[in-house]
Amino acid sequence: MAHSIWKDYPQVDSKLDQTTAFIHSSVKIRNRQISQMIIDLTSGGKMLRPAFFLLFSSFGPDRKPDEVLIPLAASVELLHVATLIHDDVIDDSPLRRGKTTIHTRYGKRNAIYAGDYLFTLYFEMISRYSVKKSDILLNSLSMKKILIGELDQMLINYNVDATAKMYIREVSGKTAELFSLSTEMGAIVSGADEKLTSLSRNIGHDIGMSFQIIDDILDFSDSRVTGKPNLEDLKNGVYTLPYILGLQDKNERLINILSESDLSDSDIKKAADIIENEGYLDSAKDIARTYNQHALKRINRLPNNTNKIVLKKVVNKLLRRIK
């Protein structure tokens, strides 16, 4: 069953179930424990990226059969999950989607190999099912941008001089690029012209930026909401937008806390209280809303069909994750 976010859209829900089934049938590892954890990991998410690919595949003049669309939708989810597995290793995260992470149960070495395995599956699907050879290059360049974004995060971690500009550049690669790839590939597969393809890519970027900022904000929420430990970002030295806004504001109390070499749980709680009580969390919410509004304005320029209506409703629903 696809995530509850899709329950009101049975056509999308059905295709996402097919996408999940295709992924599960493609994962062929003799190690049953690792195989099962990968299957579990590809069963509990929102499936936003494959969903956006499928939605945008309806805006151009061509209609590809599910035999082409489902494997390509699966490919973007595999790329996403591969990066999640590696992220969890890097951040030493004990939980993902409310479940024990692969590296926590089976070690970092096996987790890295599992992530690498999914990367190979991703490229196999792209190679087999892409409509044009140039689509493979597009995917390769997007993966390059994603990895550069991940490496850009090193410039922000533990850096009290980090700026919002640095954060935007990092998230544009690390998170928004895969949303952009999903929407752009959907448009390309549907035979969209260059103008519509560019519009689709920009919509994906805005959705991805809003999504990541909201994710950063939710790090301040109860772990039962996110399926991950709360305040985990700061524990790992990851300065997300709410913290960076405080640092840019030259908040002395925050700078003094984050300048310590080893933060205690009490330090982390004090820093979080500053972010929440002095308006930085609300400022981050405003920025997320701005990206959301940009996306909705651009969505209004898409060709009219039922998927356009679904897209607008889902984008608004994602924003409602924050009050």
Q: Chain-wide mean pLDDT for the chain?
A: 93
Provide the pLDDT for residue 190.
97
* Averaged pLDDT for residues 267-276: 96
According to DSSP, residue 174 is labeled I
8 Å CB contact between 297 and 210? no
Q: Give the residue-averaged pLDDT of 148-167.
A: 95
Nearest to 71 by CA among 25, 3, 109: 25
pLDDT digits (tens, 9 = 90+) for 98-114: 788 889 888 899 889 99
pLDDT at 226 (0 to 100):
57
Range of the domain at 216: 4-319
Cα 79-157-278 angle, rounded to 5 deg: 110
**Structural domain count of the chain:** 1
Q: What is the distance between the alpha carbons of residues 4 and 294, in angstroms, rounded to a whole number?
A: 25
CATH of residue 237's domain is 1.10.600.10
pLDDT category of residue 127 using cuts at 50, 70 and 90: very high
pLDDT value at residue 1: 65
> Is the pLDDT reported for residue 223 higher than 80?
no
Instruction: Give the distance from CA 294 to its chain's centroid.
Output: 18
- pLDDT of 93 > 90? The answer is no
pLDDT tens per residue across span 174-202: 999 999 999 999 999 999 999 999 999 99
Q: In terms of Cα–Cα distance, which of 2, 4, 8, 1 is closest to 313?
A: 8
> Over the Cα atoms of the chain, what is R_g?
20
Q: How would residue 117 be classed by pLDDT, with cut points 50, 70 and 90?
A: very high
Helix axes of 265-277 and 241-248: crossing angle, nearest 10 degrees:
70
> Tens digit of pLDDT for each residue in 29-41?
998 888 888 888 8
Choice among 29-38, 142-151, 219-228, 229-238 with the minimum mean pLDDT: 219-228
pLDDT, position 322: 83
